[in-house]
Amino acid sequence: MLAVVPPPVTVRVPAKVNLHLGVGDARDDGYHELTTVFQALSLVDEVTVAASEEPGIEVSGEGENTVPRGEANLAWRAANELANYVGRTGDEPKVRVVIRKGIPVAGGMAGGSADAAATLVGLAALWDLDIARDELAEIAAKLGSDVPFALSGGTALGTGRGEELVPVLCRHTFHWVLAFATKGLSTPRVFGELDRLRDNGEPPRVGSHAPLLEALASGDPRQLAMLLGNDLQAAAVSLRPSLRRTLRAGVDAGALAGMVSGSGPTCAFLCEDEDAAVDVAAQLAGTGVCRTVRVAHGPVHGARIVGGEDST
């Protein structure tokens, strides 16, 4: 009798920007305690998972040559973690994971985490698993601090390592311009640089996130622009001083505010509306301060199956 091979499953998953990123001191496990407000943006990766006798990972698109294949890829670790969790034992999961990247690699937008989240959602469907979203979120948290948010999307307050999430009310669609850099930055290096800067005198810390939550609820981009803040920005700029020029160029081009996204080096610019974002993007692209420019809006939903019941 022929075994029935399930059809491949494709999942679309968003990038994130941290509207507020408050970094506490280093913990004993090497992680830093965070208070962060994530927003999922319409800049996406697509991940297709398919049953295959030739297991492995394929990558195309943004930064394809710099994405690790095999065990070093968080999406592959996600496949192994889920297989173990549901007791699918064997050498390695008999799946092919095909990643089409739109999110910059090592760009501070959680692209690798997004691919891991998409792989979890895709394999849960491919293997027809009876698994709750909460269980997937637990597996996600083991894989990396940003993976649970890539599952849930929207706008959320993250605490702990960033993996403990509470949804945040956000009434408005906000419009962003993203400036990608030529070369990525390593997240551990940027956290390490912040520790070093703090040992040598304190770069000012972002304040409370409460006013930012009010701005999100009110939906006024001008109010939000004044409240964006990222403790990792000083560290990213210290490691990559040219980011100062990029940040200035976006604001000169008419953005309401600019910030380093997460650990960088991508810079995110909040704009008044969609037309303004298109305008800022066009101007920024002409300045030569970044490799490429994208427009995006947020919030958008988290990892979802393409063509699934609730994929809009």
- Give me the sign of the Cα torsion angle 290, 294, 69, 30: positive
Q: Is residue 208 a known part of a binding site?
A: no
Active-site residue, 16 included: yes
Classify the phi-psi angles of 292: left when phi > 0, otherwise alpha if psi is within -120 to 50, otherwise beta: beta
Q: How far is the CB of 186 from ligand C5P (least distance, A)?
A: 8
DSSP state of 301: B
112 labelled ligand-binding:
yes
CA dist 109 and 14 (Å) reads: 9
Q: Structure tokens of 261? A: 């996204």
Cis peptide before 104, with omega less than 30 degrees from 0? no
Q: Does 262 bind ligand C5P (CB under 6 A)?
A: no
Q: Which residue among 191, 193, 227, 255 contacts ligand C5P (CB under 6 A)? A: 191
- Is residue 187 a contact residue for ligand C5P (CB under 6 A)? yes
209 within 8 A of 37, measured Cβ to Cβ: yes
To the question of whether residue 118 is assigned a binding role by annotation, the answer is: no
* 260 near ligand C5P, rule: CB under 6 A: no
| Token pair listed for 172 | 């408005």
User: Which of 130, 163, 142, 138 has the alpha carbon at shortest distance from 35?
Assistant: 163
SS3 at position 49: strand
Task: Pick from 13, 21, 34, 293 the residue near ligand C5P by CB under 6 A.
Answer: 34
Instruction: Report the site for ligand C5P in 129-168 (rule: CB under 6 A).
Output: 144-146, 161-162
Q: Which one from 45, 146, 231, 279 is the annotated catalytic residue?
A: 146
Contact between 32 and ligand C5P (CB under 6 A)? yes
**Nearer to ligand C5P by C-beta: 34 or 124?**
34
Q: Which is nearer to ligand C5P, 33 or 220 (CB)?
A: 33
Compute the residue count for the chain: 312
50 labeled part of a ligand binding site: no
User: Does 111 belong to an annotated binding site?
Assistant: yes
- Residue 97 within binding range of ligand C5P, rule CB under 6 A: no
- Answer for which of 31, 52, 56, 219 binds ligand C5P (CB under 6 A) is 31
Place of tokens 């080096």: 265
What residues does 15 pair with on adjacent strands? Answer: 41
Q: How far apart are CA 55 and CA 61, in angstroms?
A: 20
Is residue 42 annotated as involved in ligand binding? no
Q: Which stretch binds ligand C5P (CB under 6 A): 24-32, 50-58, 76-84, 132-140?
A: 24-32
Q: What distance in Å separates the CA atoms of residue 111 and residue 185, rounded to the nearest whole number?
A: 13
Q: Is 48 in the site for ligand C5P (CB under 6 A)?
A: no
Annotated binding site for ATP: 104-114
Active-site residue numbers? 16, 146
Footprint of ligand C5P on this chain (CB under 6 A)? 30-32, 34, 144-146, 161-162, 187-188, 191
